[in-house]
Amino acid sequence: MSRLRILLIAGGPPGEHEVSLASARGVLAAMPHPTELAVIAKDGRWCLGDEAEKALLAGVAEQGFHPFPPPIAWNSYDVVFPLLHGRWGEDGCLQGFLELLGRPYVGAGVLCSGLCMDKDLGKRVLQQAGIPVVPWVTLRQREPLPELPFPPPYFVKPANTGSSVGISKVRSPAELPPALDKAFAWDRKVLIEQGVEGVRELEVGLLGNLEVQASVVGEITYQAEFYDYETKYTPGKARLLLPAAIDPALSIRIQHLAQSAYRLLGGRGMARVDFFLSPQGELYLNELNTIPGFTPTSMYPKLWEASGLAYPALLDRLVRLALES
């Protein structure tokens, strides 16, 4: 196997900064190619070399040392691996910069990243294509709250965050105002989704460019009210069932729906696709995540491990896909 030189970029603004650094630790430990790290601090400045290593060890970088653009010899790297969860990394910002530099990078391009990051726009595209999604209403800051076409419970979400940041489960209309305030603290656009009680949460990993493979389908179970930030990233809070105990025909349907959504949205490299299965057997596509987690508790590498692709081999495949695109 020829060895390639990789630049891993992690960190980013508040919200999912610490999760990104946890993912970076996982990737650096398993990456089969020589890899250097750059960390974007919460203040937007960059940490390089020893500065980045110190940030990784601390699990956070509040302040960086280098303004954008950082003094990086971009052409000395074969592939850049953006591993920022949330803003700047999943919304297409960093991808656009790498496109201008002409550097190959792991994962989705600018348009797909932006569509998948914006839950409202992504759901509109999926719905128009006939892919089932949970009913929702979009609300922007300072707009009056409309009459909701579905009863509680609701999930109130910022349109452009991940890792369940800013999300609330609301059981009555009286609980909506504080939930909206919480969501609007993260974004100027918010979704109010219909809450489907008793759902099973199913996930599948995708890998590929024009030809895309699907992993086995997994299921997440937990005791919390919903799959919130603490449950996602605290070891032992959630249980991963690999593969999920579902009918094989349903598993195939989930894989095909995920692949269809990936192609529709312009996916590249990788994605984790999340589904809800209602007690009545209704299947909803919840989200397509273009930079899934690589932390010790993250589902994406575990889905592929259960499918016969070990963590180092998965990372090598992602790097090779970046060079193909």
Question: What residues act catalytically?
Answer: 16, 163, 233, 272, 274, 287, 289, 293
Phi-psi region for residue 163, left (φ > 0), alpha (ψ -120 to 50) or beta? left
- Report the 10 Å Cβ neighbour count for 312: 13
Asked if 309 and 315 touch (Cβ cutoff 8 Å), the reply is: no
Asked if 111 and 118 touch (Cβ cutoff 8 Å), the reply is: no
Within 8 A by CB and 6+ apart from 203, the residues are: 217, 218, 219, 220, 272, 273, 274, 275, 299, 303
